Amino acid sequence: MNKQNLTIGGKELRSRFFLGTGRYPNPFVQNEAIRASDAEILTFAIRRVNLEAPGEDAILQHLEEERNFTYLPNTSGAKTAEEAVRIARLARASGLSDWIKVEISANEKTLLPDPIETLKATETLVSEGFTVLPYTSDDPVLCKRLEEAGAAAVMPGGSPIGTGLGILNPYNLGLIIEEANVPIIVDAGLGSAMDVTQAMELGADGVLMNTPVARAKNPVKMAEAMKLAIEAGRLSYEAGRIPKKKYATASSGLPSFISN
């Protein structure tokens, strides 16, 4: 993708950090964390927003005054494609956004995305003109199918939502990125700046997170740490790391210092 900026659905973004708005200790900390992150995309569960008066909603009312955010509402809580589509339509009808993160989980224990329902919802919402970013598992075949269905970006999880386990299968994620013709945003399961850097060094176009920032001991500092990790990981990916070798290679050219 573009070296400087990321483009999704025709919108150019400076930041590769997508930030969730839930689970912060209070609105002040939430706002300070958002400011520290420099994120331009904010995500939240539609079911948490008052769709009858979104401009007065407690989650959103204090954000637009300072910066022009792009909202990425999600369909968290949906268990079928039909539910997700209905939720997305309600969000758009309220004037909230025509961007939508499809999130469909059939199992409340693991919250792993339902692949069949996610694909069905993506196909329907794309046909209705939504900018669709589906949250999915790290299955390279499924990610490709979602791209072919018209997803503006695909969002595979590094591990289950909220676990902080990091990237459990970097090989799969690398395959997804290698084959993609749309941006790949790593979503779910990351826990630290190390995880974020790994995702970006693998070639991910961005990272979405909520819990690692919101539930940190200091969310504001963690938001800044994650922002810097994204930038460092992206620079490292663009610079190109040295190949891994089995044996040591002297960087000083030791033989040249040996004299008779």
List residues forming the annotated binding site. Answer: 162, 188-189, 210-211
**What Å distances lie between residue 26 and 3, 33, 214, 239, CA to CA?**
36, 11, 10, 39
* Tally of CA atoms within 13 A in the half-sphere of 5 that contains its CB: 8
Take residue 165 and report the two structure tokens written for it: 């386990």
Annotated catalytic, 101? yes
Take residue 42 and report the two structure tokens written for it: 């904010």
Question: How does DSSP classify residue 206?
Answer: E
CA torsion through residues 227, 19, 205, 142, sign: positive
Catalytic-labelled residue, pool 79, 101, 120, 227: 101
Which residues lie closer than 8 Å to 115 by C-beta, 6 or more apart?
Answer: 136, 137, 139, 142
Residue with tokens 């059939």: 106
Tell me how far apart the alpha carbons of residues 63 and 211 are, in angstroms, rounded to a whole number: 19
DSSP 209-234: ESHHHHTSSSHHHHHHHHHHHHHHHH
Residue stretches of the annotated binding site for 1-deoxy-D-xylulose 5-phosphate: 162, 188-189, 210-211
Active site residues: 101
